[in-house]
Amino acid sequence: MSSAPQDVAVVGAGLVGLATAWFLQEAGVTVTVYERRHVAAGASWGNAGWLTPGLTVPLPEPAVLRYGLRALLSPASPVYLPLRADPALWRFLRGFVAHSTHRRWRRGLAAYVPVNQRALEAFDVLAAGGVSVPTRAATPFLAGFRTGREARGMLTELTAIRDAGQDVRFRPVLNWRAQALEPALSDRVRAAIVVEGQRYLDPPEYLRSLGMAVRARHGRIVENVDVTAVRPGATSATVVRSTGQQYRHDAVVLATGAELTRLAGALGVRQPVQAGRGYSFSVPADPLPAGPLYFPGQRVACTPLRGRLRIAGMMEFRRPDDPLDPRRIAAIVEAVRPLLTGVDLEDRADEWVGSRPCTADGLPLIGPTAAPRVFVAGGHGMWGIALGPITGQLLAETVLKGEAPPELAPFDPLR
Ligand SMILES: Cc1cc2nc3c(=O)[nH]c(=O)nc-3n(C[C@H](O)[C@H](O)[C@H](O)COP(=O)(O)OP(=O)(O)OC[C@H]3O[C@@H](n4cnc5c(N)ncnc54)[C@H](O)[C@@H]3O)c2cc1C
């Protein structure tokens, strides 16, 4: 690269885009963020807010595949696949199935370890630099199961994660001790696993505060700008919006979440990014759980946020802009009803659907494209909140040096 970019555009104001903008500013770069709707309009709003590097692993895995196939046959399933899938979805699913082997999962796990180890530290850098909404210690982070046997699968997975070099401490809790630890669990929960050292945040508040921090450092966040193309040049790149207006910058970072393929596909990025839609809502809870609760058997995540309990789940392979399907909310409600006490599941607020940006190999796309001044940051699937800041930090380094650090090698967008 000739000279380091001084003026960089980021497309997409989710956590990944805003964190990238912030870390670029940290190095003295002038940033402009172009966002189709508004800050946190995508997946970064209604997610569970877990910062759980101890659980951040690739999605394609034999057990997930078996679970997904079984779940497809059940009407109350936490996984939904349209009967008439389009060619892009079939391509994604073929890749997902091919990657669902133990060997590939272990390889993916090893790729995650170096970034997972630094994930929480990157939040601390943001906090020290003025992002005022705090991250919270998950004390405890609890996974609940109906039987001790059900818990064994997660214990095996956590052991594999630890064996791969990830620092993760956990312990099983049996019978009544689960309720003693978390009174919001019903007596149907007969086993639990405590995972230590994890955190969580309030996604809408955190995104608002990160957006304010970017603006406070004279970054521009330009909302209601739909970017339809990026024209690469040798020492610059031009953002084209739907109105035809064009803006030239020294470099452009694409952080458009589940829409990543649309702009990055023309720049040599062949890995498709598929929307894995999830749903959430919040309910009153008394007692309010002291920390996040995970029900792996039901694939449901619960997080205490602003005095209510946010409940999130589902994996629906549909277009990002399709409307919210109330049947999915009902399926989540029925899945958690037997497992929680003191929640009013009928008094729901903030019903939401959003798209996880999923890749077929379960690894994100972070780094340069085939165009010298265009980069991508996205495709984190289930883990774009936990990994957003470290992604921004490493990508900012890549943009400035014109070369990706070794931690990003497995996430090469041109793989
Ligand atoms: C139910 C659910 C629960 C989840 N729980 C967790 C969790 O606990 N922990 C965790 O780490 N992750 C979680 N995730 C995943 C996480 O939400 C995502 O991985 C993450 O938010 C992705 O961030 P992003 O910035 O890449 O994308 P997004 O937040 O989707 O942001 C992309 C932005 O780009 C904009 N955009 C798109 N196209 C254009 C365009 N052409 N021009 C301009 N702007 C454009 C969009 O409007 C959007 O604002 C969850 C997801 C779901 C659905």
Question: In the predicted model, is pLDDT for residue 248 greater than 60?
Answer: yes
Domain 7-411 has CATH 3.30.420.40: no
Q: Which residue lies with its CA nearest to atom 31 of ligand 1?
A: 14
pLDDT in tens, 357-393: 999 999 999 999 999 999 999 999 999 999 999 999 9
- Closest atom, ligand 1, to C-alpha of 280: 1
Q: How far is the CA of 257 from the centre of ligand 1 (A)?
A: 5
Q: Which residue lies with its CA nearest to atom 16 of ligand 1?
A: 384
**Could you tell which of 52, 259, 319, 390 is best to mutate to test the pocket of ligand 1, judged by most ligand atoms within 8 Å of the CB?**
259
Q: How far is the CA of 275 from the centre of ligand 1 (A)?
A: 10
Lowest mean pLDDT among 82-91, 287-296, 312-321: 82-91
pLDDT in tens, 223-238: 999 999 999 999 999 9
- Closest atom, ligand 1, to C-alpha of 354: 53
Q: How far is the CA of 202 from the centre of ligand 1 (A)?
A: 14
- Closest atom, ligand 1, to C-alpha of 383: 11
Q: How far is the CA of 372 from the centre of ligand 1 (A)?
A: 25
Question: In the predicted model, is pLDDT for residue 189 greater than 70?
Answer: yes
Q: Which residue has the higher pLDDT, 219 or 176?
A: 219
3-state secondary structure the chain: CCCCCCEEEEECCCHHHHHHHHHHHHCCCEEEEECCCCCCCCCCCCCCCEECHHHCCCCCCHHHHHHHHHHHCCCCCCEECCCCCCHHHHHHHHHHHHHCCHHHHHHHHHHHHHHHHHHHHHHHHHHHCCCCCCCEECCCEEEEECCHHHHHHHHHHHHHHHHCCCCCEEEEEECCHHHHHCCCECCCCCEEEEEECCEECCHHHHHHHHHHHHHHCCCEEECCCCEEEEEECCCCEEEEECCCCEEEECEEEECCHHHHHHHHHHHCCCCCEEEEEEEEEEEEECCCCCCCEEECCCCEEEEEECCEEEEEEEEECCCCCCCCCHHHHHHHHHHHHHHECCECCCCCEEEEEEEEEEECCCCCEEEECCCCCEEEEECCHHHCCCCHHHHHHHHHHHHHHCCCCHHHHHHCCCC
Q: Which residue has the higher pLDDT, 58 or 203?
A: 203
For residue 312 and ligand 1, the question of a CB distance below 6 A is answered with yes
Question: In the predicted model, is pLDDT for residue 3 greater than 80?
Answer: yes
